[in-house]
Structure 1
Amino acid sequence: MNSRLCRLSSQSDGETSASEAKHDHKRTRTKIDGTPNLMDTIALCYMGALLLRNPLTIADLHHWISEGDLPFYHGSKNVPLSMRERLPAEYQELLEPNVLSKLERRGMQSHILEVISSFSTEFGMALPPINHPLILYRWVQKMALPVEVFAATLRLARMLDMAFAYGLDAPKSSRDGPLRFPEPRLMALLITATKLVFPIDGFELSSAKPTDMDALKMHWLAWAEMQALDAEGGEERSPKYEEALEFSQADVLGASEVQLDQYMDWCEHNIVSEEVRERGRHGRDAEFRRVLFRMFPAHADGAVQTEVEGEQTAKDDVTETLRQVQSALRTKGKAEDRGGEQSVIGSFYRRIKEAKSLEGPLKLFYERGAELSGLSLNGMVKATARIDVKLERQEESKRKAGED
């Protein structure tokens, strides 16, 4: 990693990677391993977003890569043909990740943290924390949660004195492993705050005042139905980039006409190339190929407009989902006190320590949180469990301070 960073730094000063190669110019594996790759480029893009205070998340990057909107798989197509032909095979390999091994969100988290740590160590570069208010607002919208969750999450973060910068000093083996990443840290707080204010386990607690934060109750079954419908998308949903890469002969035989059309559209926009070789034996037919491509263009003129319309449709779907879930909110009736005491926020709070304990809307809620924060389901459960432990320790310390 350090050698890759040195190459990045030297290239920014006008030097080329060849000037740092070994004197014998042997293409050894050590040399290739020390060359910046596509994952390093993704990390640099994310670091740039942090410096600009852009509410970009790692899950966003992963989604763009999976959809083919951000060059990663078949990245060499974005290099000019004249340059790509002169690249040694070892360097061309860096531009072609193994399409058979999917890019995992947790792997992106770890790699980006490694690059940020290297920049901090080698160059003394300090990055700002993530723009957590805007990211949290986006998540509350996408998960169709009441606005009270936004305020409760920020209040919980202040209570636990938790910031949202990358934890560069925390050891990998620590029990707070998932919380080293700021986005999973924020999502763990959001999940905990939601469970406190709007219990998902069916308990209906009484509220002292109709203006309290927990005066409303959510219809979690209706929420789960809306989330499931959004996730399915139906047969009309276009295949993801990774799904299309794995499209096999067996899938072709079992696919419908709509699915086949979508797959061919994907090939048209991601695999088909209109590059014309000007040199060599292929250069003899260069003019003929250019005329042929003009007569039968691979990319339709309305592709950009279709993409814009698709983004607008997605925004409208989020707004409609949020509207339907919000309309299902109800004020709490007068609930009986449990044990003769007034029920308060946090009463009968259910701690989840293992993913196998999740079921129903609660499982779907954790899955959505894991998807948006760039973690696996197990990682999300562990991160939320650590927040529960911190809350418990704080309550114990306050109780002992009151006794003293």
Structure 2
Amino acid sequence: MEYVKRGPCGQDGCRERRYYLQDGVWFCRRGHQQEGRQVEEDPDDFGRRGTIHRVKRVAEEKIQKTYSGRRGYRLFIQAYQLILWKQCHVLVHEKGFPADLEKVVKDLWALRLQSLVDKFDESLDAADSNGSAEIFSSQASAIDAVEDKSPSSSTARKVTDNPLLEESLGLCYLGTLLLRLPVSIGDIYRFAMREELPFVQAIRLVPLEIRDRLTQVYTRALSVQTALSGERLHETVYQLGMMYSREYNITFPPLNVPLMLFQFVRQLALPLEVYSSVRKLQQILDFSFQFPLDKKTSTRALSFPEAQLLALIVVATKLIFPFSKTKGFPISATEPAAQVLDWNVWNAAQKHFEKKSKEKGRLAKGQEVTVNDGHVFHLTGQQMDDYLDWYENTWIDKNRAANPLAPMFPISRMESSSHPAETKPSTKEKEDIEEKIRTVTGGITPAETVPPKHSEGSEGKQNGNSDDEEEEENDDTTPRPGYSYRVYKQESDMPKTARKFYETAANLSGLSLKTLMAAVNRSELKLEKWQEDTRRAEYHGERNVEYTAFRDIEEGDEWGTDSEE
């Protein structure tokens, strides 16, 4: 009889551990029937007894979830490159940019990669492993140190630093600059904020297989952590331009001034006389409208080419159409200042234009990323729905497998509540600008002309003394255009209309009001110095031709401080 060893029997103090099976019932060696141990024999395995052998499972190789070192950095560069290509694709096929833009941006990116080869070239791993210095597990390698280092917020960045997400927008802009396209940084910034150009949560464009292999540091680098400002984008473009100039001796051309200037003047609904005045101011102040080749600049604001252009537009506008109540009287009707711009009409037209660009009761496109917890209490129900729709489309990853219970809790609304699609959004914007221009130009009135006093009876003094004529000319105290020019040192010194004009001009390029004021003040100082040099030259008999050409814009002897609106 075959016995099986188990635990003690326990009946009547029996300590027997050996059991046998009889008719499907277990008994101990001493004949005690075991309760709860009845079994039915399997006829297919009848009479089979023996030792059970268990087969060990084959050890499966653990697959690394994320890549590190040069392999991980190479994957990050490939994901970044995919986002950059997608941005160029949108600009070319959806925004109507020329196809050469993709080639130019590709060349700029190729130069950028030359400084990063040591970080992502996997062939260098073997050379590093054969090195004399051994890296222990408690030490961090150079690549790991780069991964753990968060992007620096300082303005000075090395060429070997990791590319930031906003640098992709900077590369797209530099590509348009090389092609001499009339595109401002403000345009690129608005495309990105309105999600017309992939930027916010751009990592969703990367395939899921690549995202799952990226470390958290690289995942964060491909996502927007803080809202991008136009000022920071200007600084990013400036740093990229300086890097290409320093490392690869690339000189970027100046702005396409004729088209850019006309575009800004038109968007500000200003008379065309401002265009010619800005061109004269450019010659006087010697503005190049391009990135400076040296690091040391007198004013940081004037380092931005678009800030230079907008500063001259503001100065020319203040000279011809001052904000103060005191107006200058032009000599003839052919001067640029021979017409008066009603700033109240301009202010009302600008507010109407901004109101039409925003749908009534809706959250404006591009403002979703700036919404914080304090804004929630002031949002209407429709605006809250718009924000939640934007959040769903931007942050919820629909490529990943959804939870089986997710259909029971839908987050999308049944009706379509997104902004109504327009076939050509740019067409509506152009029509609104045309309407604003017609409203402003309709309020322009001719200015009163006052000829100089010495012009009367001067024909009868041909044989007279020229010194007497000069003294009589100096006796003319009639205020001329530019007489009431006011320099605003602080924002509190500006009237409401002037502040509105400054803010509108700054928003065209994504600049802050503070930066534009600094650029304007610096330009005014340069213009004042030019006036002093010109008067000194005239005093010594060296009359300046440019000064003569500019007198039809500004005839005042001093920068006025008159009362304002």
TM-score w.r.t. the length of structure 2 is: 0.61
* 4+ aligned runs moved over 6 Å, structure 1: 4-7, 12-16, 296-300, 335-339
The answer for the alignment partner of 2:423 in structure 1 is: 308
Q: 1:33-77, CA deviations, whole angstroms, 9 ceiling, x for partnerless residues? A: 532121221221111111111112111222222222222221211
* Inter-CA distance 396–107: structure 2 relative to 1 (3 Å threshold): same
Aligned partners of 1:156 and 1:298: how far apart in 2? 58
The answer for the alignment partner of 2:323 in structure 1 is: 200
Gaps of 5+ in 2: 1-76, 78-106, 129-140, 152-160, 454-474, 541-565
Out of 319, 329, 346, the residue aligned to residue 223 of structure 1 is 346
* Inter-CA distance 259–394: structure 2 relative to 1 (3 Å threshold): same
In structure 1, give the amino acid aligned to 2:517. Answer: V
Q: 1:195-228, CA deviations, whole angstroms, 9 ceiling, x for partnerless residues? A: 1111111222222222221111101011112222
Aligned partners of 2:311 and 2:195: how far apart in 1? 29
Equivalent pairs counted in the alignment come to 383
How far off its partner does 1:178 sit?
Answer: 0.9
Q: 1:228-267, CA deviations, whole angstroms, 9 ceiling, x for partnerless residues? A: 233343634533444356354x755653343234224423
* Inter-CA distance 392–262: structure 2 relative to 1 (3 Å threshold): same
How far off its partner does 1:326 sit?
Answer: 0.8
1:39 alignment partner, SS class: helix
User: Are positions 1:379 and 2:521 aligned together?
Assistant: no
CA contact (8 A) 1:160 1:390 kept: yes
User: Are positions 1:87 and 2:214 aligned together?
Assistant: yes
CA contact (8 A) 1:353 1:385 kept: yes
CA contact (8 A) 1:205 1:344 kept: yes
The answer for the alignment partner of 1:271 in structure 2 is: 395
* Inter-CA distance 261–309: structure 2 relative to 1 (3 Å threshold): farther
CA contact (8 A) 1:7 1:36 kept: no
Out of 436, 441, 457, the residue aligned to residue 326 of structure 1 is 441
Aligned partners of 2:343 and 2:435: how far apart in 1? 17
Aligned partners of 1:350 and 1:6: how far apart in 2? 44
Alignment of 1:56-135 (within 5 A): 56-98=183-225, 101-135=226-260
The answer for the alignment partner of 2:286 in structure 1 is: 161
Q: 1:100-133, CA deviations, whole angstroms, 9 ceiling, x for partnerless residues? A: x332222222221111111111111111111122
Aligned partners of 1:298 and 1:158: how far apart in 2? 60
The answer for the alignment partner of 1:41 in structure 2 is: 168
CA contact (8 A) 1:54 1:131 kept: yes
CA contact (8 A) 2:185 2:509 kept: yes
CA contact (8 A) 2:314 2:502 kept: yes
The answer for the alignment partner of 2:303 in structure 1 is: 180
Q: 1:302-343, CA deviations, whole angstroms, 9 ceiling, x for partnerless residues? A: 98x814343322221111111101111111135698984344
Alignment of 1:229-244 (within 5 A): 229-232=352-355, 233=358, 235-244=360-369
In structure 2, give the amino acid aligned to 1:271. Answer: W
CA contact (8 A) 2:368 2:387 kept: no
Task: State the percentage of identical aligned residues.
Answer: 27
In structure 1, give the amino acid aligned to 2:387. Answer: Y
CA contact (8 A) 1:235 1:258 kept: no
Gaps of 5+ in 1: 290-295
1:306 alignment partner, SS class: coil
Work out which of the two has the higher radius of gyration on C-alpha atoms and give 1 or 2. 2
1:308 alignment partner, SS class: coil
User: Are positions 1:259 and 2:376 aligned together?
Assistant: no
Aligned partners of 1:332 and 1:18: how far apart in 2? 67
